[in-house]
Amino acid sequence: MFRRNSSRVMLFLFFSYSTMTIFTTFMPVFFRENGLTNSEIGTLLAVGPLAAILSQPIMGFISDKYKSIKMTLLICLIGSILISLILIQVSSFIGYVIVLFLFFSFVSSVNPLGDSLAKQTAEEENSSFGYIRMWGSLGFGVSALVVGYILSLIGVSSIFFLILACLVITFLIALSLENPTKVSKKATILDLVKMGTEPKLFIFLFFVMFISITHRTNDNFLGLYILELGGDESYIGVATFIGVATECIVLATGAFWFRRFHETTFIMIAGILYCIRWLLMAIITEPSVVLVLQLLHGVTFGILFLSAFQYTSKILPSHLQATGHVLFYTILFGVSAIIGTLAGGAIIDYFSMQVLYFLMSILAAIGVGLLGIYRLKFSANSKKTQNESVLKV
């Protein structure tokens, strides 16, 4: 069913997403145990997305210009490994700010480029992008379960050694990857400028960002919320695993349900489900209920990611796919994370976790409304694209 490069990309995504699991799920716990306030934690969690906003477009353009996603991935991974060795030695707040910025300048482009490679490989080999991408989610979930258990035994202070191990494994797998062969035209600065003047793309990403802000905020503060409700690190790992397990199901079965409606319709459905999910999170009092609500994670994020990624791919020319995909990540995960972590940390300090989740529900509802307006403006007169030339999901 899958050729050798597809299998290698799956394995690569498994371990690259495992690395990010440790950061997004357990780093807030590490910072809190080291005496940092919620506002300081929010600031540190915003450093990575800020670095990503500056570095990801550059990495994406380099990849398209030289037609080598593999080369760019190796550069990012080597830089990440070297800086992680410095990160192990840091102990002050200012030190974390500086070194984390450098670290994320490299590591933040690994998953976007990996997803772009997965998408282009799926097209070339006539296979399912959703199934290939599912392995990234599977890595995220399995590592959350395993790392959560390990840290509950040995302590969260060992977190950086686990990060380094995942990075080295990811680098070794990246050495065996192959670049897509279909793209013959190199990207130029002029192409980049033309893409930057495309209003349809940026308006779409801006509207979806209202929903993605809520998702990224939950990513960064879910662990702290579980602890506040009386759970421990193992609870955090189980919660993440449950969410990602449902996400894998949604991604793996995308080929069966995705073409039933327009992409923006699916995103609006995901946004409505996010509203319901955050409202329920705002009123719970037991950590065990979080585990139940995590069943909604795969449905909400799986639909949101697959639909938004597919719609972005349709807007982009073939020789700017990597650049566009990285831009997709920059806005929907980078900018969203900065807003969510800074605002979220302040809201928690001045109010509570419950108030944060209530406001997230309102923000998701605003995103749904804006996407409805976008659909009327840009998509009402367009026919649904269902031919086989569109990316298989």
pLDDT at 319: 66
All structural domains of the chain: 4-379 (1.20.1250.20)
Are 364 and 212 a contacting pair, CB within 8 Å? no
pLDDT at 192: 53
pLDDT at 346: 86
Are 156 and 23 a contacting pair, CB within 8 Å? no
Q: Print burial letters for 72-105: b (CB count within 10 Å at least 16), e (below 16).
A: bbebbbebbbebbeebeeeeebeebbebbbbbbb
| Angle at which helices 336-350 and 199-228 cross, to 10° | 40
What does each of the 393 residues of the chain score in pLDDT, given as a tens digit? 445 678 899 999 999 999 888 887 788 788 888 888 877 887 887 788 888 888 888 888 888 777 788 999 999 999 999 999 998 888 889 999 999 999 999 998 899 899 888 888 888 887 778 888 889 888 887 887 788 778 878 887 788 888 999 999 999 999 999 887 765 555 554 555 555 556 778 888 899 999 999 998 998 888 889 988 988 777 887 887 788 888 888 887 776 766 777 788 899 999 999 999 999 999 988 888 999 999 998 889 989 988 888 888 787 776 677 777 778 888 888 788 888 888 888 898 888 899 999 999 999 999 999 999 988 887 644 544 433 334 444
Whole-model pTM?
Answer: 0.76
Helices (H), the chain: 4-21, 27-33, 38-65, 69-87, 93-107, 110-125, 129-154, 159-174, 189-196, 199-228, 233-252, 254-257, 263-283, 287-293, 295-315, 321-329, 336-350, 353-374
